[in-house]
Amino acid sequence: RTGTGAMAIVKRDSTTNENDLFGKLPGAEFTLYREGTSEVVQTVTTNTNGTAYFNNLELGTYILKETKAPEGFQASSSTWTVTVTNESGSVVVTLYERDKQGNRLDDTALILYNLYKGGIQGSYTVYNTAKENTVTVVKTFSGMKLKEVDTLLQNSTATEGGTPSGYYIKLQGDVADVGDVDVQGDTQVQLTLDTATRSQDGLTFTWTVKNLAVTRAEGGETKPILYTLSEGNYLRDNYA
């Protein structure tokens, strides 16, 4: 609406940075409260691109909190101050970080919206730390038609015993030379489309994989297990 502001919030895995193509997290919930009250002004959830938008923000001061983390991640403990002001006739939205006591840190001011400069000026990124032994895998079929993805889904299921049929993603941990060492957790997981959460546009699938082994004992040392992702098609691989 005329005379109101907007802003964009991006959610990322803390192990990635702004230049990474992967790592944006859908399903994070952010809530905007009117400052000094418990009044909820707006609640939004990040989309498949890890972005959430607040719109129609009226003049005033607000507090921003992450009220729900994506599955498998810990919610940020930080809070932010958001001001919506009228500066020489232009609506401006500014975000400030806050210290642990809730005091606004003025030197962190970031303008996210300026009506006279074309609206949204950028976004603010909030990073999440994955819960222990948990990883989120996101696959987007951006170059395919919806009916083609539907066909993939119909032919991609987990059969009895865990063997996939059709398309799958393999999450493989490097556990070479483990021998008889007891590794706590899974080191190989095959992800089929029927076990994923599907986005509204039908092109993005998200898995939250829990109980992954993160270290191994070798030569008296504890070493991390490194994971790689690969795609496959069980029917093609075995019968082509």
Q: What are the pLDDT digits (tens) for 181-190?
A: 445 555 778 8
Most confident stretch, 3-12, 186-195, 209-218, 227-236: 3-12
**pLDDT for the residue 23:** 78
pTM, 2 dp: 0.60
Residue found by looking up tokens 């932010």 in the block: 80
Mean pLDDT, the chain, integer? 83
DSSP letter, residue 212: B
Q: Residue 143: pLDDT band by 50, 70, 90 thresholds? A: confident
Rounded distance between C-alpha atoms, residue 16 and residue 20, angstroms: 6
Specify whether the CB–CB gap between 81 and 104 falls below 8 A: yes
